[in-house]
Structure 1
């Protein structure tokens, strides 16, 4: 879809977003852009899991999710953060509507690998018609990264992967990951541009670690689809642009 921008906001940055971020959304709309927001909620999920004495375990930046952890994720993402984010957007004059993977059968999912990851899901299909209808009605869809499989079991979804799958299904023009760092960092500086080859090198050298790994992997996947532009940025919407060809930066 021409002029469609998918913006993923990480849970670590969600409540730290400043007025300039929301103003940028308004500016994008005035420029004719259509927007879909996707959000995570990792820190809040961790906090509630600690309160409930549910163990936290991460492998390569991805949370291993027990049944109780999945219930907590659904409560936090769909029950607390999503309504809060939608409220903030609406208060600032942005017509937003909150949804999760269950709403309108938006995200058809199944277990990624249950014996290894537990209740972590993989997306089998994005029902893009649900999002198209909301956009045509003038809404900004705000997607919480949780869903259920065909038998009703809760599946925690990596929000970066949700953003990529939605962007691919909708043939979005651009995908922007908003995180708590100003893009990919190397030797204390932001990498302005990165290629697929240079990203693999940065991972192998231990420069890219933890939660940044799924972000750049999602970006690489996007470059192999029809998405033209992928960015990893901070709350001021400045950071790293990821492109296909080799660059020197």
Structure 2
């Protein structure tokens, strides 16, 4: 359903959340007039995703999740925009922004408020790409106990089952069996794909056929979201 129409519907239901997918791993969450954006990276429509945003969450420092130049421009244009991310991200941004108080370094196993959103963090480390490539910090975010964005990781949140999970569908650090195992392990009600910019139309067909099948076997609905497509997420 188009985002504008869904916004009108959601305005009648307190607590419901609107999720809009942008290219690759960027998603925009809207609730009660507030906007939270996760991972506006170089493959994504950063300016569009960040329009009216009050909070940005960055999972890790890789450019496909974190476009430093365009994020700095957004911070300069929106002086109240707050950014939460791993220390490496915050230390890189701090010299380039006027008000470093709006930058917040986060670790795994923490919780904070972002407007009307409650955010919990999980994980801590990027998935292994190769033993000769050092790992970096990666923080996954659970928002309102409703939706989980793992960044570049297959860590499953401990202590809760999140009904909506964003699954990294294809990456240099993963294989299809790991994607399927992650979906099964989350026990989510529904999953939507992220981290998909490197897939061709043929690749989508191959990977999504298997992920959708095995998700269904374990009671999880897999659904593909096109760029700019929006869905309503019920309150937990």
Please say whether Structure 1 and Structure 2 have the same fold, judged by a TM-score greater than 0.5. Answer: no
Between the two structures, name the one with larger relative contact order (CA 8 Å, sep ≥ 6).
Answer: 1
Give the alignment's TM-score, normalised by structure 2: 0.34
